[in-house]
Structure formats: structure tokens, C-alpha cells
Amino acid sequence: MPENQTPDLTKVPTEVLMNYYGHQYDRMGKLEDQRTAITNITITLSVLALTFGFGDATGFSEVVAYGLLTVMILANLFAITYIVRTNSWIQTHELRAKGILAARFSDLREFDRQTHAKHGRWALSRWKIQMYLHVLLLLLAVVMTTLLMVYY
């Protein structure tokens, strides 16, 4: 099929389309669950790095502190990269699902549009909250590394 040609979904059985539609949302859910798991692991690593790196002033070791801050920086960079990358896949799955509704189930698509919850002006999506959290932890690690270099 040529790239600019719209597929004719009228020939596809309804059951197949509905399974495909459900599969798109299943994939989105799994990707969001993976992002949440990576965020949880990264937060845990960051808290452990801060606790063990700077929790005991008497047993302070610059090498350990630098190592733990490096782990914290790398973990948060990985999490940010993963969140950005999975966001494009989630959007792809959502476009596919909405495309099926628009092509074959226009009444359902219209209902979907009309029943979408209105978000406030300052509302943030889950992935943006995760991104800001990782950026904050990354900046904290960079600032602490800088302070460590200056004062020790």
C-alpha cells in the first residue's frame, strides 16, 4: 500500500479491530508501568546514594561520595532518556487506537472526545511529573558534586 494512502478498515472484521484497539491500550499501560518502575528504582537508588554518601560525617569518604553521586546522576539520566523515548511509543499506540475509532466507530470516537476530563491550567501529566522529579534529583546530584569538589 502506498505510504500516503489511508487503509480501508471497512474490510477488517469488527472483532479484529476491537482486539487491535485493546492491544494499543494494553501496550500503553505496560509502557507506563515500566516508566513507573524505573522511576521508583531510580528514586530508591538516589535516596540510598544520599543516605550512604553523606549520612555519616565521621566515616565520610570522598571516593564513595563521588561514586554514589555518579550512580545517582547516571540513574536519573537513564530514567529521563527512557521516559522521553517511551513517550513517543505511547503516543503512537494512542494514535492507532484513536484512528480505529475515527475510521470505523465515529459515534464512539465522538463520545470519547466529549467525555474527556478537562484539566486545569497547571495540571501536569504523569510523565511530566516523573521528568521533573528526575531533573530535580539530577540537579541535586550535580550541585552536591560541585559542593563536594569546592569544599573538600
Euclidean distance between CA atoms 55 and 4, whole angstroms: 60
pLDDT at 38 over 60: yes
pLDDT digits (tens, 9 = 90+) for 62-91: 777 788 889 999 999 999 999 999 999 999
Euclidean distance between CA atoms 136 and 60, whole angstroms: 24
Which DSSP letter does residue 4 get?
A: T
All residues at 6 or more sequence positions from 46 whose CB lies less than 8 Å from its CB, including other chains: 72, 75, 76, 137, 140, 141
Cα angle for residues 60, 79, 30 (degrees, 5° grid): 135
Q: What percent of the chain has pLDDT over 90?
A: 52
| Predicted pLDDT at 5 | 73
Inter-residue contact 126 to 32 (CB < 8 Å): yes
| Predicted pLDDT at 149 | 82
Cell 537513564 found at: 78
pLDDT at 42 over 90: yes
pLDDT at 148 over 90: no
Nearest to 89 by CA among 7, 30, 42: 30
Euclidean distance between CA atoms 148 and 152, whole angstroms: 6
Residues 41-59, mean pLDDT to the nearest whole number: 79
Maximum mean pLDDT: which of 50-59, 114-123, 142-151: 142-151
| Predicted pLDDT at 122 | 72
| Predicted pLDDT at 31 | 96
Which DSSP letter does residue 60 get?
A: -
Question: Residue 13 — left, alpha, or beta (φ > 0 → left; ψ -120 to 50 → alpha)?
Answer: beta
